[in-house]
Amino acid sequence: MAFGFKLSSAWSYDDGDIETNRSANPHLSDLVAQRYSRRQALFGGVSAIGAATLLAGCGGDDDGPALSVSAGDSVTTSGGRMVNLVGGVSGGTATASSWTQVSGPPVALTPGATGDTVAFSAPNVASATPLVFRFSAVNQAGPANADTTVTVNTAELGFAAVAKSLADTVTVPTGYSVTVLYRLGDPINAATSAYANNGTDTGFSARAGDHHDGMSYFGLAASGAAPDPANSARGLLVLNHENITQLMLHANGPTTVNGARPEAEALKEIEAHGVSVIEVSRAGASGAWSYAQGSALNRRITPNTAMDIYGPARGDASLRTVFSPTGIAGRGTINNCANGYTPWNTYLTAEENWTGYFRRTLGDAAARGGPTAKVNVSLARYGRSDAATQAAPNGPQGNYGWAGVQAADPASTLFRKWNITSVAGAPADGTGDFRNEIFQYGWIVEIDPFNPASTPRKRTALGRMNHEGAWPGRFVAGTRPAWYMGDDAQNEYIYKFVSTAPWVAADATGTDRLALGDKYLDAGTLYVARFDADGTGVWLPLVFGLGPLTAANAAYSFSSQADVLINARLAGDALGATRMDRPEWTAVNPANGEMYCTLTNNSSRTTANTNASNPRAYTDLKRPTGDQVNADPPSPPSRTNGNPNGQVIRLRETGDTTEATAFIWDVYAFGSGADLNRDNINLSGLDDTNDFSSPDGLWFSRAQNAGGTINPLVWVQTDDGAYTDVTNCMMLLGQPGRVGDGTTRTITNTITPLTGAPTTGTATARVGAVPGTKLRRFLVGPVQCEITGIDSTPDGRTVFVNIQHPGEEATSVATLASNWPANQGGAAPSPTGARPRSATIVITKNDGAVVGL
Ligand code: FEO
Ligand code: CA
Ligand code: CA
Ligand code: CA
């Protein structure tokens, strides 16, 4: 809300120096000199001058009577909101006027619409704090001042909850605006044509990829290719392209020729994966955002881009292929889901569901030593036993069948690398085929967005898994920093990497950014989390030789630290880590260092295998929708058993330090429909304003603005299939409390199968303080999308969000389910309308306040 000040409570100033004889004007030069000297006497040395103006022209009527000025009524606001100060002048014409701050936490005053108006974004404060501002005006008769007081309270949510929605549009609260910034296929250099969006486009290494996901904004210096972490008007937006909606990329969907994918189609699909780096800027302080199509900093990184391998697994025998016989370099990153960042201005991208892209032919396990051979134990633990491959959705081809492409250039290995079947007669060390290619995936990859020529580095010290992201804890000089990570598959673990190198604040401005990555990300300790029933937990170190991580381990004989990191899941098994409900994103509260992790859902959770941190197992009924409703007889509700709605867990490190090896924990919020049983399922008491399902994307506002201080805002994004009979996926905004602020409850779980008897069990749930009005739905997305990926400008007044795969369930390009974003603004989806496109959107508050406040 903006505050317009009325011209009441006028406080006039009259020093008695009134001149009425207009016939005796001084010479112009004298007049100007006098004005400047008076103005400087009035305002010199005062900080935060907002809008000093020199009025009147030559020989103007500036020798009028003494002025009356007003500064408006005193008002109350809260952190992050915009305040407009409106000065008033009466009784004459001022020769100069200005606003200055008299007391309180300093703010930056920016000019408003008129010379007597200024605006500022209220700072966040721990308790009610007065800020006093003075409006001053002067004419030949002398100066006049008036003061006003703005009392600022602690930041609070500044919007009414958005209703659940099945509409094909992005909905945000009243008072907020959405624009579309960067869509699938948008060109990122001057030579590439606009996207036709009809399946004929090519050249995706110079276009936006598909399935926008994790994203970070890096402020860009006015001088060009250097960071300016304070710049909220120009930056590099770096975002992941996790996957593709294959149907929409081709004129009539994907094709095969004699059972093989055409090379051009496969190349397009491959290049639509990866990462984008794009330059974005704002037109003026409050204008529209756009990306610079011709920026030299724009870059696409794809599954074909050269990569270097760093950390303990660099050069390991199990990473060697015919393309990279030394195992120190490779090619490509894929299924980049969530993200992370470093304070030295690099981007971290996470390789998530990479396993399924690889073909592995039945019989390969026998050819490579049988089921107990280490390589086969490893491949099976990561979902790529040769039998599992045959059962995968795309059968033995691997996702999208790229391994079967017959490249026009016989020497090309761009497609062959997707087949990890060992070639009969090839060297057993893997240097003659691509049997080891899959071990080059599953890593956190560091990218220097400010150097388009740099080669990304895979940071193997952070372990190999279905990486969701790598979010850092707080950086404290002299303390070893940490990055928190989820492994997103059913019953997988939560990890933390703690660097060996204590943080040196000066490194934040280092210019050899990837060398700083070497310093902090190549040596350290990877830990896996065990959550105990009493609300405590421990970080178990994945260190070769410690505990069970030796050659004597029965399930898998570890041979080195590289072996432990490449097989982090097997190490977590041996250490007794807690099997979680699919750990997705991690985020850290910048005010207190508490770490949050979304546990999205888990269909294999049963009443018999719940634990305190994953306590729910129940049956979710999903009402029939669309054609199912009109069927005769109508379709019955479908059921999902297990934990269909997910939860957000959080932990507080002992001593509030990233170096801790123990923590306490609870659950911030349990996902649920508002109508479900509050004793056993809707444990957080969600209502119509904040009920959600399958939390996935997760973020805290930046500490650089009011949203990220005192009581920071947490943003929760959903990737849901359970509640989509009621609403499209969404984003919520909350002000959470702290670990341990809630209650411990005993719940009864019941799973009711379609046939047979229900199963029941009990569990202890540690439920954070009920979110209530401190958690609200902020955004609902278009049909069949996922909301994922978020960052803001440093000032928090622009938020970037990704809308992933709208309309992804269409089975034909002739029967589209969504036309978003072409129809953003309210048009209903048309089966013959524009094809849907994943896209980055920009959200601003219309009055310029910090988004959400
Ligand atoms: Fe890419 Fe686990 O979501
Ligand atoms: Ca995700
Ligand atoms: Ca997900
Ligand atoms: Ca997804």
- Say yes or no: 727 and 625 in one domain: yes
Alpha-carbon span 80 to 265, nearest angstrom: 48
Asked whether residue 56 is assigned to any structural domain, the reply reads yes
The model's confidence at residue 224, banded by pLDDT at 50, 70 and 90, is confident
Measured CA to CA in angstroms, residue 51 lies from 47, 96, 110, 168 at distances of 12, 9, 7, 44
What mean pLDDT is predicted for residues 163-168?
Answer: 97
**Sign of the CA dihedral with 271 first, then 272, 278, and 283 last:** positive
- Say yes or no: 502 and 623 in one domain: yes
Domain-ending residue, one of 87, 119, 153: 153
Residue 781's nearest CA partner among 220, 162, 270 is 162
pLDDT at site 6:
29
Question: Cβ contacts of residue 457 below 8 Å, gap of 6+?
Answer: 307, 308, 309, 310, 445, 446, 514, 517, 518
With beta carbons less than 8 A apart as the criterion, state whether 136 and 103 touch.
no
Residue 234's nearest CA partner among 224, 245, 249 is 224
pLDDT at site 259:
86
For the cut 90, the answer to whether the pLDDT of residue 41 exceeds it is: no
What mean pLDDT is predicted for residues 541-550?
Answer: 98
The model's confidence at residue 62, banded by pLDDT at 50, 70 and 90, is very low
**Sign of the CA dihedral with 225 first, then 228, 232, and 237 last:** positive
SS3 category, 357: helix
Give me the DSSP letters along 450-493: T-TTPPPEEEGGG--SSB---EE----BTS--EEEEEB-SBT--
Which residues form the domain of 791? 176-354+441-845
What mean pLDDT is predicted for residues 169-196?
Answer: 98
The model's confidence at residue 3, banded by pLDDT at 50, 70 and 90, is very low
pLDDT at site 21:
36
Asked whether residue 63 is assigned to any structural domain, the reply reads yes
Alpha-carbon span 685 to 742, nearest angstrom: 12
- Interior CA angle at 288 toward 286 and 290, to 5°? 135
- Say yes or no: 737 and 836 in one domain: yes
Residue 615's nearest CA partner among 586, 662, 649, 650 is 649
* Protein residue with least CA distance to atom 3, ligand 1: 337
Write down the mean pLDDT value for the chain: 91
Give the distance (Å) from ligand 3 centre to CA of residue 219.
29
- Note the pLDDT tens digit of each residue in 438-495: 999 999 999 999 999 999 999 999 999 999 999 999 999 999 999 999 999 999 999 9
Domain-ending residue, one of 106, 138, 153: 153
Give the distance (Å) from ligand 2 centre to CA of residue 788.
7
Q: Is the CB of 352 under 6 A from ligand 1?
A: yes
Q: Is the CB of 337 under 6 A from ligand 1?
A: yes
- Say yes or no: 680 and 743 in one domain: yes
Report the atom number in ligand 1 closest to the C-alpha of 466. 2
Ligand lying nearest the CA atom of residue 489: 1
Q: How far apart are the first and last CA of the chain?
A: 9
Q: Is the CB of 186 under 6 A from ligand 1?
A: no
Report the atom number in ligand 1 closest to the C-alpha of 353. 1
One-letter amino acid for residue 344 of the chain: W
For the cut 50, the answer to whether the pLDDT of residue 269 exceeds it is: yes
What mean pLDDT is predicted for residues 746-756?
Answer: 93
pLDDT at site 826:
66
Residue 483's nearest CA partner among 511, 516, 525, 519 is 525
For the cut 60, the answer to whether the pLDDT of residue 647 exceeds it is: yes
With beta carbons less than 8 A apart as the criterion, state whether 492 and 577 touch.
no
Alpha-carbon span 338 to 350, nearest angstrom: 6
- Say yes or no: 619 and 516 in one domain: yes
pLDDT at site 390:
83
Ligand lying nearest the CA atom of residue 804: 4
pLDDT at site 523:
98
With beta carbons less than 8 A apart as the criterion, state whether 380 and 417 touch.
no
Asked whether residue 326 is assigned to any structural domain, the reply reads yes
Asked whether residue 613 is assigned to any structural domain, the reply reads yes
What mean pLDDT is predicted for residues 285-297?
Answer: 95
- Say yes or no: 148 and 180 in one domain: no
Ligand lying nearest the CA atom of residue 212: 4
pLDDT at site 61:
47
Asked whether residue 392 is assigned to any structural domain, the reply reads no
* Protein residue with least CA distance to atom 1, ligand 1: 337
User: Which of the residue ranges 109-118, 154-163, 362-371, 390-399 would you say has the lowest mean pLDDT?
Assistant: 390-399
- Note the pLDDT tens digit of each residue in 707-739: 999 999 999 999 999 999 999 999 999 999 999
- Say yes or no: 108 and 204 in one domain: no
For the cut 80, the answer to whether the pLDDT of residue 180 exceeds it is: yes
Report the atom number in ligand 1 closest to the C-alpha of 335. 1
Domain-ending residue, one of 153, 187, 208: 153
pLDDT at site 4:
33
For the cut 70, the answer to whether the pLDDT of residue 7 exceeds it is: no
pLDDT at site 547:
98
User: In 10 A of CB 51, how many CB atoms?
Assistant: 20
Residue 468's nearest CA partner among 644, 377, 587 is 587
Alpha-carbon span 556 to 377, nearest angstrom: 7
Q: Is the CB of 465 under 6 A from ligand 1?
A: no
The model's confidence at residue 26, banded by pLDDT at 50, 70 and 90, is very low
DSSP 8-state code for residue 554:
S
pLDDT at site 416:
96
pLDDT at site 63:
56
- Say yes or no: 227 and 280 in one domain: yes
Q: Is the CB of 487 under 6 A from ligand 1?
A: no
Structure tokens at 169: 């549009």
- Say yes or no: 135 and 186 in one domain: no
pLDDT at site 64:
60
Give the distance (Å) from ligand 3 centre to CA of residue 696.
5
Alpha-carbon span 347 to 353, nearest angstrom: 19
Question: Cβ contacts of residue 23 below 8 Å, gap of 6+?
Answer: none
- Note the pLDDT tens digit of each residue in 503-537: 999 999 999 999 999 999 999 999 999 999 999 99
Give the distance (Å) from ligand 2 centre to CA of residue 213.
8
- Say yes or no: 676 and 713 in one domain: yes
- Note the pLDDT tens digit of each residue in 617-638: 999 998 877 667 777 877 788 8
Q: Is the CB of 492 under 6 A from ligand 1?
A: no
Alpha-carbon span 693 to 642, nearest angstrom: 13
- Say yes or no: 268 and 309 in one domain: yes
CATH number at residue 49: 2.60.40.10
Asked whether residue 432 is assigned to any structural domain, the reply reads no
Measured CA to CA in angstroms, residue 344 lies from 77, 220, 308, 348, 509 at distances of 35, 13, 19, 12, 6
Give the distance (Å) from ligand 3 centre to CA of residue 582.
9
What mean pLDDT is predicted for residues 688-701?
Answer: 98
Ligand lying nearest the CA atom of residue 721: 3
Residue 851's nearest CA partner among 97, 195, 173, 125 is 173
- Say yes or no: 306 and 270 in one domain: yes
What mean pLDDT is predicted for residues 247-255?
Answer: 97
DSSP 8-state code for residue 581:
B
Asked whether residue 596 is assigned to any structural domain, the reply reads yes
Give the distance (Å) from ligand 2 centre to CA of residue 811.
23
Q: How many separate domains does the chain show? A: 2
pLDDT at site 52:
33
pLDDT at site 35:
37
Q: Is the CB of 265 under 6 A from ligand 1?
A: no
Phi-psi region of 661 (alpha: psi -120 to 50; beta: other; left: phi over 0): alpha
Asked whether residue 168 is assigned to any structural domain, the reply reads no
| 187 strand-pairing partners | 207
Around 330, how many Cα atoms within 13 Å sit in the side-chain half-sphere? 32
pLDDT at site 628:
72
The model's confidence at residue 837, banded by pLDDT at 50, 70 and 90, is very high
DSSP 8-state code for residue 708:
G
Give the distance (Å) from ligand 4 centre to CA of residue 622.
20
With beta carbons less than 8 A apart as the criterion, state whether 83 and 120 touch.
yes
